[in-house]
Amino acid sequence: MFFQHVYDKSLAQASYFIGCQKAGIAIVIDPKRDIDTYLEIAKQNNMKITHVTETHIHADFLSGARELAAVTGATMYLSDEGGEGWEYEFDHVGLKNGSVITVGNLTLEVLHTPGHTPESISFLLTDKPASLEPVMLFTGDFVFVGDIGRPDLLEKAAGFAGTKEAGALEMYKSVQRFNALPDYLQVWPGHGAGSACGKALGAVPSSTVGYEKIRNWAFQYEDDKNGFVKYLLEDQPEPPKYFAMMKHLNKVNRPLLTEVPTQKKLSGEEVKDAMAKGIKLIDTRNKFDFAAGYVPKSINIQGNNAFATWMGWFLNYEEQFILVATDAQIEDLTRKLMRIGLDNVLGYVSDINSLGVELKQSNIIGIDEFKSYLDREDTQIIDLRGVAEFNTGHVAGADNIFVGTILQNLDKISKDKQIVIHCQGGDRAAIGYSVLEKAGFKNIKNYSAGMNEWVNKGNPIETSVVEAAV
């Protein structure tokens, strides 16, 4: 058996290339959309990709299953579980609980493991030349290392009201089924630490059934269904805004993008003309360079591993946009955008000085100045972290507005007071500062060092239980 774990750090998303070396054929599980990665693996190992499959209809990334099948001629094997409303709306071979996919000497048995979504399935892999017993379990968003998939995304991100409690109960049943599997089975999940598909995912790429039974919180509630449901649903991170669109695009027929596009490098005049028409300029430089000098009305979303997620919060799927990026960086950013379907890139500019406009500087303040604004009637302190982070510990008197929802909560921000924003370590505050400046707020100061410095220097925090601004 040939096996390769393919991991996208930008979305903490795992896919798997598994081949039968004797037959020279392979299956890919949960492929990302820039499919050249799998084509290159196949080429290097003299294999043909003949099977493509998914564990469920994904919400956090745009699946490359259809692109990969179109290019290779592979057959798509997809879940037909979940009932009405959960069917893929394009041609595929349907899978039910107990279905078996054969790839040369390898077999993948389908286990219906609902909870995260109604149609979710896992794959139990047997490498027959080596053993007649299964060796690997590909769990998708069912069981992670140290956590399990959240059942509230359908309700919070996709608008399916009343589904989170039902999903949690289904997850409880699926966990009992997992509990009956042999301890020696390797567990290969669909996500790692950093994914919004759970709240406490581990950083290591794989585990075993036995280890998860011991260490995963979900297996400590075997006789406490209500406690399990309560813990599963509480303190989940805010689901990115783009998740609803991913759920839709992964289910329906859509245009395919089988190659990584080449972006046009724009002149300064082209950028200025586009911005005059309302096209957004996204500056992907690091927050320090942006703060030192930025184009007015541009938005700072750094081109790091969180780039795609934040772009999904602040861009829609109809509008064009321009990137500030280097020539060396643009392909990587394009790939990150592809993976969530943000394809409407008008072009990019690498030198903001070419625009011939006067640059602005962010008003960054240190901890002493930040303290001087506390407990003042003429100042509003805004903590841009998620609600669970805020509840765990925050500066007394701060208001909590999660940065991802800031545009929907501008009415909660005073235009008459001095606004002082912060987050944990500065990245989200950099986004928030640029978004507020673009929205017309003028009295903004950014305590960029944020809660990391505040706590490390021994300053007091408060805890609370509040609902997030949505």
Segment holding 280, helix H or strand E: strand 280-283
Q: Which pLDDT value is given to residue 199?
A: 85
> Average of pLDDT values for 419-436?
98
Q: Which pLDDT value is given to residue 158?
A: 64
> Average of pLDDT values for 108-136?
96
Q: Which pLDDT value is given to residue 21?
A: 96
What backbone torsions phi and psi does residue 365 show, to the nearest 5 degrees?
-120, 160
Rounded-to-integer distance, Cα 166 and Cα 154, Å: 11
The CATH architecture of the domain made up of 2-249 is 4-Layer Sandwich (3.60)
> Average of pLDDT values for 110-133?
95
Q: Per DSSP, what are the bridge partners of residue 418?
A: 379
Tell me the CB-side half-sphere exposure of residue 233, using CA atoms within 13 A: 22
**pLDDT tops 70 at residue 159:** no
Residue 452: pLDDT band by 50, 70, 90 thresholds? very high
Which tokens is 52 given?
């493509």
Query: 147 near 200, Cβ under 8 Å?
Result: yes
> Average of pLDDT values for 64-92?
96
Write the CATH number of the domain with boundaries 268-355: 3.40.250.10
**pLDDT tops 60 at residue 380:** yes
Q: Which pLDDT value is given to residue 88?
A: 96
Scan for tokens 């290339």, then name that residue.
17
Scan for tokens 């998620």, then name that residue.
386
**pLDDT tops 70 at residue 147:** yes
Fold match flag (2-249 vs 268-355): no
Residue 104: pLDDT band by 50, 70, 90 thresholds? very high
What is the tens place of the pLDDT at every residue in 123-141?
A: 999 999 889 999 999 999 9
| Helices marked H in 94-163 | 153-156
Closest CA to 420 of 353, 339, 463, 365: 365
Q: Which pLDDT value is given to residue 270?
A: 97
Residue 238: pLDDT band by 50, 70, 90 thresholds? confident
> Average of pLDDT values for 179-187?
97
> Average of pLDDT values for 235-262?
93
| Helices marked H in 10-88 | 36-44, 65-72
**pLDDT tops 60 at residue 261:** yes
Q: Where are the domains of the chain?
A: 2-249, 268-355, 367-456
Give me the chain's average pLDDT, please: 95
Which of 5-19, 41-55, 99-113, 238-252 is least confident? 238-252
What is the tens place of the pLDDT at every residue in 169-181?
A: 999 999 999 999 9
Instruction: Calculate what percentage of the chain has a pLDDT beyond 90.
Output: 90
What is the tens place of the pLDDT at every residue in 296-355?
A: 999 999 999 999 999 999 999 999 999 999 999 999 999 999 999 999 999 999 999 999
> Average of pLDDT values for 31-41?
98
Amino acid sitting at position 43: K
> Average of pLDDT values for 380-391?
96
Q: Which pLDDT value is given to residue 194?
A: 87
**pLDDT tops 70 at residue 460:** yes
Instruction: Calculate what percentage of the chain has a pLDDT beyond 70.
Output: 97
> Average of pLDDT values for 363-374?
98
**pLDDT tops 50 at residue 96:** yes
Q: Which pLDDT value is given to residue 268?
A: 95
**pLDDT tops 60 at residue 466:** no
Rounded-to-integer distance, Cα 141 and Cα 115, Å: 9
367-456 has CATH 3.40.250.10 classification: yes
Rounded-to-integer distance, Cα 92 and Cα 108, Å: 17
DSSP reduced 3-state for 323: strand
Q: Which pLDDT value is given to residue 237?
A: 85
